[in-house]
């Protein structure tokens, strides 16, 4: 495997909290966590370097798994884990476009957990880099309760993804419950809901058009996701070379 892809996958694998193989977007499609249309939208946004957060208030919903699977969509840039304040501060001075990730927005001494002023600076990174992270929040008001996030710096993000878990042990569903896109207004009003999950019939509904991604690009992205399914590309290692090939063809 090409060394650059190997490094990319090694950095993503540091997010692994469950052991075993990291789940890919194909696994998430099979599990019903999202559908092809949502996968295509997220591919289109993330492969062009847009920043995103994944939120769910309870633990064990799958937000880290989703974040890791989506990181396999990023452009051919370095992933940098925000393991301490110095990494973030250096990133603010770094002229090379990179993807900085926080394993959790919240207090804790675990790997790449950040809070307080580090979150403030982490969101500043989104002015010149791509950022990704997850946090315990079910909606935008709860995101704004996180230490270091406010009505001003939340608009540095492009996409907010929320998740929900339902069912009993052995019959659990983990779903992307809603996706919001930054459409250029101020504060929380910048974000418009594009997708929602309907728990009653376990289906996804598109609520609005994207302003971030043109319709032709969404159609192209859908064909890429369909190709991943058609060719049975399942692991992160199998999917990444195809993603890079498609990104390079588009540039």
pLDDT (average), residues 67-80: 97
Q: Which residues contact 190 (CB under 8 A, 6 or more apart)?
A: 154, 155, 182, 183, 184
The total number of structural domains that make up the chain: 1
Phi, psi angle pair for 86, to nearest 5° = -65, -35
Q: Which residues contact 173 (CB under 8 A, 6 or more apart)?
A: 32, 165, 166, 167, 202
Determine the pLDDT at residue 19.
78
Question: Distance between CA atoms of 33 and 153, rounded to whole angstroms?
Answer: 29
Tokens 């946004």 identify what position? 45
**Residues spanned by the domain of 182:** 3-250
pLDDT at 169 over 70: no
Q: Do 9 and 236 form a contact (C-beta atoms < 8 A)?
A: yes
Tokens 């064909």 identify what position? 223
pLDDT at 170 over 70: no
Q: Say which CATH number the domain at 131 has.
A: 3.40.50.300
Comparing 7-11, 111-115, 168-172, 223-227, the range with the smallest average pLDDT is 168-172
Q: Which residues contact 120 (CB under 8 A, 6 or more apart)?
A: 148, 153
| Enclosing H/E stretch for 191 | strand 191-198
Determine the pLDDT at residue 211.
97
At 154-167, the pLDDT tens digits run 999 999 999 999 98
């Amino acid at each position: 495997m090409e060394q650059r892809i190997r490094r990319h996958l090694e950095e993503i694998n540091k997010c692994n909290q469950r052991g075993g193989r990291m789940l890919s977007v194909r696994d998430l499609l099979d599990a019903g966590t999202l559908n092809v249309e949502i996968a295509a939208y997220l591919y289109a946004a993330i492969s062009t370097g847009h920043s995103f957060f994944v939120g769910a208030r309870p633990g064990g919903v799958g937000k880290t798994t989703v974040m890791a699977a989506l990181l396999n969509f990023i452009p051919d840039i370095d992933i940098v884990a925000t393991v301490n304040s110095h990494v973030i501060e250096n990133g603010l001075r770094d002229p090379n476009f990179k993807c900085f990730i926080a394993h959790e927005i919240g207090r804790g001494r675990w790997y790449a957990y950040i809070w307080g002023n580090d979150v403030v600076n982490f969101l500043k990174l989104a002015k010149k880099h791509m950022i990704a992270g997850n946090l315990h929040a079910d909606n935008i008001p709860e995101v704004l309760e996180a230490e270091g996030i406010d009505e001003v710096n939340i608009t540095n993000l492009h996409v907010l993804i929320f998740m929900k878990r339902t069912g009993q042990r052995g019959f659990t569903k983990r779903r992307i419950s809603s996706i919001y896109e930054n459409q250029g207004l101020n504060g929380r009003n910048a974000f418009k809901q594009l997708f929602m999950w309907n728990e009653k019939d376990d289906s996804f509904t598109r609520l609005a058009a994207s302003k971030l991604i043109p319709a032709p690009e969404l159609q192209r992205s859908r064909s890429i996701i369909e190709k991943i399914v058609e060719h049975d590309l399942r692991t992160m290692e199998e999917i990444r070379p195809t993603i890079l090939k498609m990104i390079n063809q588009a540039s």
